[in-house]
Structure 1
Amino acid sequence: MHKKFQLPTIIAVIFSLSSACSMAAESVDLAVSGTIAPASCTPLLASNGEINYGQIKGDALDQNNYNLLESRQLAFTLTCSAPAAVALRAISARIGSTVTEGSEGSRGFAPAPIALFGQAAGTIPAAGLGYYDTNKKIGGLAARLISADTQADSKQVSQLVSNNNGASWTAATAGAPLLLNDGLTSWGTAGSQTPVPFTQLTGNMEVQPYLDKASNLSLTRAIELDGLVTFEVVYL
């Protein structure tokens, strides 16, 4: 009787211990994480991108014609952490201030009313030089990269332009302007219409400002030129 009475108890205890061990089983997780980082590119202009014309004599300005200032050049580099196909988008920070005989586009550029870069008046887009006396315009500026000087990873490249946000590209004319209201600028090998990946682009940016007719300027006081254009890197 004693054995028969104890057996169910022993079995019950064993089952209970087995169940407890199963519930108490320990575990460890393996997690894999990280970030696949795209190449990053940094544009740089010599002299911190600043061009100072110093004092411009008001009495030397033409009363009845637009006044062209001497063009200046700045070394330009675009350096990437790995080979990348990129483009530049230009945006004026002085929207509404361009002296023009036309109208400004969405990024603040308007046809220059004077011949620039050897091109006829009204053909080169320009950005404004800011205002004086709150709302009086001063002039404009245009910018381009010197084609002969532009290289990607030490190889000559040609300028490309896209007017549909990079969906397609066409070859630009030599020294085409960079200040485009609806376009992007990139670079490809000679004869190609596809942007080429690179780790470093080098060249020289030529900047050409102009001033309004002296008859439209208040020359009894100092007028500060205040042009500012931002160039954004677009990853393709």
Structure 2
Amino acid sequence: MKEIKYIAIGVLTLACSLSAYAQIPNGSVNLKVIGKISPASCTMVLGATSGNLDFGHIDYNNVDSNELYIGSANYPAKTLSGLTVNCDSPTLIGISTTDNRKSSVLNMNISNGRSYNQDGEVINNIEPYLGLGTDAKGVAIGGYTADFIHLKVDGNTSRFSDCMAQDSETAKVASYASANDCPAGQVRKVLDTSGNIISGKVFTWDYIVSPMLNTPDNLDPAGWSMDGSVTLQVVYL
């Protein structure tokens, strides 16, 4: 499959110069077709905190049972607002993600896991967790769900698609847009609320995460730090 990585197509011009009295060797002239194809020019802003979601210091002795059930439920979710892609002309894009801590995902009971639809509402969906890294002993800290919500394109409410091939001309609105990896060569495309693939200049959305931890008896008593990391890639289509 050939990826098309341009958005601004230069004007194709037909250039020639003929004089009314010009002598034409062998009855012919040269006509040149010239133009320029420029790559897309888009920039990304990872919100006010430069892409970091900090849950701060957590002391087990001071955690209310309604806020945290180790190994069975979630911390209160946190949201990173204002992920933004700015393009200098209308552009077709897709997004893909890579979980940089995938090897540390804890195999745990996720029956109480939270996911969020694209309007940011909790849904009873069980999606694969992303990794939170390991403690000093190499024990998996836990996992978290991560979803993209509140997508807007040029100020209009929009949707991400399910994971799909980059060259596909049809798409389906995803019930939720998880940050879990899409299969190789696939992306989440940008759609209007009717499911049509659309272009735009300004794309904005939020990123909501909800962690779940291993039991404290399994983790280093000296302490540990959550270390979730996802690479977000914007693909020009």
TM-score, normalisation: structure 2? 0.70
**2-side partners of 1:43 and 1:223: how far apart?**
31
Residue identity over aligned pairs, in percent, reads: 24
Equivalent residue in structure 2 for 1:171, among 173, 188, 206: 173
Highest Rg: 1 or 2? 1
Partner of 2:74: 68
Contact 1:39 1:83 in 2 (8 A): no
Partner of 2:223: 222
**1-side partners of 2:164 and 2:112: how far apart?**
25
| Structure 1 pair 35–209 and aligned structure 2 pair: CA distance change class (3 A) | farther
Say yes or no: does 1:55 pair with 2:28.
Answer: no
Equivalent residue in structure 2 for 1:88, among 95, 110, 120: 95
Contact 1:62 1:214 in 2 (8 A): no
Structure 2 counterpart SS, 1:48:
coil
Q: Tell me the amino acid that sits aligned with residue 150 of structure 1.
A: L
Higher helix share: 1
Contact 2:84 2:202 in 1 (8 A): yes
| Structure 1 pair 33–52 and aligned structure 2 pair: CA distance change class (3 A) | same
**1-side partners of 2:108 and 2:41: how far apart?**
40
User: Cα RMSD over matched residues?
Assistant: 2.6
**1-side partners of 2:42 and 2:144: how far apart?**
26
Q: Tell me the amino acid that sits aligned with residue 218 of structure 2.
A: N
Say yes or no: does 1:126 pair with 2:129.
Answer: yes
Partner of 2:151: 150
**1-side partners of 2:167 and 2:85: how far apart?**
18
**2-side partners of 1:100 and 1:41: how far apart?**
38
**1-side partners of 2:104 and 2:34: how far apart?**
50
